[in-house]
Amino acid sequence: MIKGPKLQHLISMMDFLCIDDFVIPDFNLRLPIETMTTNFRPDRIFKLHRRNGSMTYFGSGSAFNNDIVIRGIQINDTWIKRAYHFLTIEVDAKLNKKVKNECMPYLKRMLLKFNKIEFCEED
């Protein structure tokens, strides 16, 4: 596990998982400035996009305001760490599924290195 994940690490992990978008759980995180004040909605989804490395905010749940979508939110270090944590769980689950019944030692490490995501290896 690396100490300071970067956006490029997230993109590499999303490539390995073959996903274009990843929903980042936002509980207990400081919300981006674009989602404050009049754009705030109690039900919200933050989605990270692999192609451009930005987030999209989907907000709903307000009786007085319409649903809102804000695209192109730049992701900061706190959000990168949260996404990295959950993407690591997904990568680990996919690798465990692949190497479940294999008898070759270090196969998991080899798959990580081959897919250029060796930074998610557990210490």
User: Tens digits of per-residue pLDDT, 11-60?
Assistant: 999 999 999 999 999 888 888 888 887 788 888 899 999 999 999 999 88
Distances (CA, A) of 110 to 2, 9, 90, 99: 18, 18, 17, 11
Q: Does the residue 1 lie in any domain? A: no
Q: Does the residue 72 lie in any domain? A: yes
Bin 12: left if φ > 0, else alpha if -120 < ψ < 50, else beta.
alpha
Bin 96: left if φ > 0, else alpha if -120 < ψ < 50, else beta.
alpha
Q: Does the residue 82 lie in any domain? A: yes
Place of tokens 């674009």: 34
Considering its fold, how many domains does the chain have in total?
A: 1
Q: Does the residue 24 lie in any domain? A: yes
Q: Does the residue 22 lie in any domain? A: yes
pLDDT of residue 123: 43
Report which DSSP code applies to 48: E
**Domain range for 53:** 7-120
